[in-house]
Amino acid sequence: MIQRIKKIFIGKPLPNWEYKHQRLSKKIALAVFSSDSLSSVAYATEEILIVLMTAGAAALSYALPIALVILFLLWILILSYRETIKAYPNGGGAYIVAKENISTIAGLVAASALLLDYILTVAVSVAAGVAAVTSVYPGFLEHKVIIGIVVVFLIGLLNLKGIKESGVIFAIPTYLFLFSFMIMIGVGFFRYFTGQIVPTPAETIPILNGLSLFLLLRAFSSGCAALTGIEAVSDGVPAFKTPESKNARTTLLIMAGLLTFLFFGITFLALHYQLTPVHDRTVISVLAENIFGRTPFFFIIQAFTMLILFLAANTSFADFPRLCFFLAKDKFLPKQFMQLGDRLVFTNGILFLSIASSILLILFHGNVHHLIPLYAVGVFTSFTLSQTGMIRRSLKLKQKGWKHALVINTIGAIMTFIALVIITSTKFMSGAWIIVILIVILVLIFKKINIHYCSIAKQLSTSNIKAPIDLRGNRHKIVVLVQSFHQGIVKSLRFAKTFSSDVVAVHIDISGAERDRLIANWERFNPKMDLVIISSPYRVIIPRLMSYLDKLESEDPKLNVTIIIPEFVPKKWWHHILHNQTAFAIKAAIHFRPRTSYISVQYHLEE
């Protein structure tokens, strides 16, 4: 039944050889890996204006210079990540770069920062998409959290269909968003150059804070949300068609050009229309209304803004599971994150991301402005560590063109570190401290997981075993659990006798009548093995069984015990509900006993 449901929703399983055909062309990859960066223009300008307006209307004029500084930083990062893609064509991004060139801890810090950023990207993007909906239909405000969670799981479901299939689905709205925004900005610039711009009637903005350097730095840190998602292309290089590195570098340049045009255009027009953020509407919706009025194109802009914001989460769904794969491969995350699902995607990573981002939406009530202070700290941490790692790599290897790469990465490292300090200090009390603490916690968890896997490898190692192997072991005893006498019990007794002569049947007596019937059948059928009756006046099975096993093992320190658990299996799944689950409880109790194993012997029923 589960397989049929999976087939309906995500499609038929794909064979391993199909993996190479799941690679992405540049057109599809641009939609998959750039939707996060491109969608940030829908709220980055607004976040700058929200901070500046606390210093009064005059302070809003600083929005454009701040946007230009952010765009300068963008291009430094783009050039830096082009060098990273060239050096690491197999992907891995900041985690691999920092781990290989700085230290394992630095790599884990970068990975922690990126994982948190991907989770926040989903939450922020979806919350912003819901905000675009409620800007047109305010009645949905009270349901915004539920809408956000539904959208997250729909995107997750689409990603479970496979990266190629989901990429094609997401490409259409991404390109429609780009086309509609280019028209809006183009019309806006045409009206500016022809003197047709009519500024919004000025509103009195109360001055809550004086204009200061700290306020400008806060506005800059909020606007840096526009830079999130830039590392996505370098993390996902293996997803591109061959030549992977060249295609990824080209896609990165195209993304940067589009982001520059959109971010600059929206900020420029917002200032000249004298727009200010309002409680129940986004700056984009107000700008579109000023340019087009309440015409169909206004609603088209809102619809495509909503779609790109929702689909921006897809960048995280493309990269989060891949980063989890690299961490699991290095034994810092559970190995389940390495497993490819039916559609050749990392299913467990997709499911984990869906759940984590939904929890964030619930905790922060789906409010973009509450989530933004947590944003960008993680991504700029990974930026800085990645650039620093590339500097050390250039100095160590000194390959062709290393001086050029060194200059670019040095500038990138210095600027991203300055930006990180600004973002962390200005947003620390607003919520950035949560990210700092979570990064530390995640690094500790990664180390604990790694210690566990290393310990297992050491204990399972055969290096201390001499060849040839002596297979003679300790004494072994088989214990068959017998609660009554039926054909399933007979099958279990036969099974036990096939590989050991030291077999004993054990009955936990919780009902005198059942005990008497069992003894009568035992004498009648005479299975030729001892039957041990253990009294349980308090009608408990597991504690009495454990006491019996403790007694056996204490009498012989070299004794190993295997419990045979008879189980009958009903034909229909719902029949299981009609029977107790004692066997599962017994297995769970035995599972953690060092010298005890269990074997389940199943007897399948016909009806």
Domains of the chain, earliest start first: 2-14+24-449 (1.20.1740.10), 476-604 (3.40.50.620)
pLDDT band at 92 (very low <50, low <70, confident <90, very high): low
Helix (H) or strand (E) holding 481: strand 476-481
pLDDT tens sequence across 237-278: 888 888 888 999 999 999 999 999 999 999 999 998 888 877
Three-state secondary structure call for residue 601: strand
Most confident of 58-62, 187-191, 364-368: 187-191
In 364-462, which residue ranges form alpha helices assigned H by DSSP? 368-371, 377-397, 402-427, 433-460
CA distance 143 to 375: 24
Q: Are 303 and 67 in contact (CB under 8 A)?
A: no
**DSSP code for 203:** -
Region 58-76 average pLDDT: 90
Residue 571 has pLDDT above 70, yes or no: yes
pLDDT tens sequence across 494-552: 999 887 788 999 999 887 778 888 888 898 888 888 999 998 887 888 889 999 999 98
For the chain, give the mean pLDDT: 84
Region 200-204 average pLDDT: 58
Most confident of 17-31, 349-363, 390-404, 505-519: 349-363
pLDDT at 486: 87
pLDDT at 235: 77
pLDDT band at 6 (very low <50, low <70, confident <90, very high): low
pLDDT at 22: 62
Which is higher by pLDDT, 266 or 592?
266
The pTM assigned to this predicted structure is 0.77
CA distance 93 to 118: 13
